[in-house]
Amino acid sequence: MPEAKAFASQFVSSQHRDETAELGMWVFIATEVLLFGGLILGYFVYRHAYPAAFAAASRHTDIVIGAANTAILLTSSFLVACAVDAFSAETRKICVALLSGAIVLGLTFVVLKSIEYSDEYREHLIPGIDFNFDAALTNGAQLFFVFYFVATALHALHMLVGVALLAVLATLTYRLPSSRHRAALHSGALYWHFVDVVWIFLFALIYLPGRSS
């Protein structure tokens, strides 16, 4: 009977193990908040220094793709939350389907993001490689786009990790849903939602400024 050795010896019970794992994920998320925090401080500092350039640069981003990606991520988060709810032996196929939906949406996000990147390349908006902007605002705009590319690339990296994670979880769930996998799915879902939250703020910082002028 594998259930006897289902949890490592430092734990008292499998529930103890699962709660510990979730706590670990929360600590990891706190770390991640500060990882993006450094970038966000830089963003605010330069937005304060170059308000006009930031507004102008922001207008050059593609709000349609940005908003679509936000909707996509919010929906994928919704699907993942549903998948956590649907995790049980009876409904495991629904759970897998929901996860697959989230994976597809996640990949769509990345694809749209790369389309956006290539558009920006064509518009000469990549600092250091090929940057061409209204001469008067070029400094602030470069700083904006450095922030933009670093932040969104880092976020996209998180997305890819998340997609891989969801794929593994979907496979495990499909094969044999156990309480161990429920905990794993739970932690994976926390991570996915966190990546979603990061994007909510990036969206507000990158796409929205300067639209009204």
Choose which of 111, 115, 168, 204 interacts with another protein (CB under 8 A): 204
Residue 158's nearest CA partner among 113, 209, 95 is: 113
| The one segment of 104-112, 145-153, 164-172, 175-183 that binds another protein by CB under 8 A | 145-153
Smallest gap from Cβ 2 to another protein, in A, equals: 19
Residue 178 near another protein by CB under 8 A: no
Q: Which of 115, 189, 113 is nearest to 151 (CA)?
A: 113
**Terminal Cα distance for the chain, rounded:** 68
Distance (Å, whole) CA 45 – CA 38: 11
Element (H, E) at 125: strand 125-126
How big is the site for another protein, counted in residues (CB under 8 A)?
83
Binders in 18-47 for another protein, by CB under 8 A: 19-20, 22-24, 26-42, 44-46
Q: Are 89 and 177 in contact (CB under 8 A)?
A: yes
Q: Which of 7, 56, 57, 77 binds another protein (CB under 8 A)?
A: 77
Q: Among the candidate windows 6-14, 109-117, 161-169, 176-184, which touches another protein by CB under 8 A?
A: 6-14
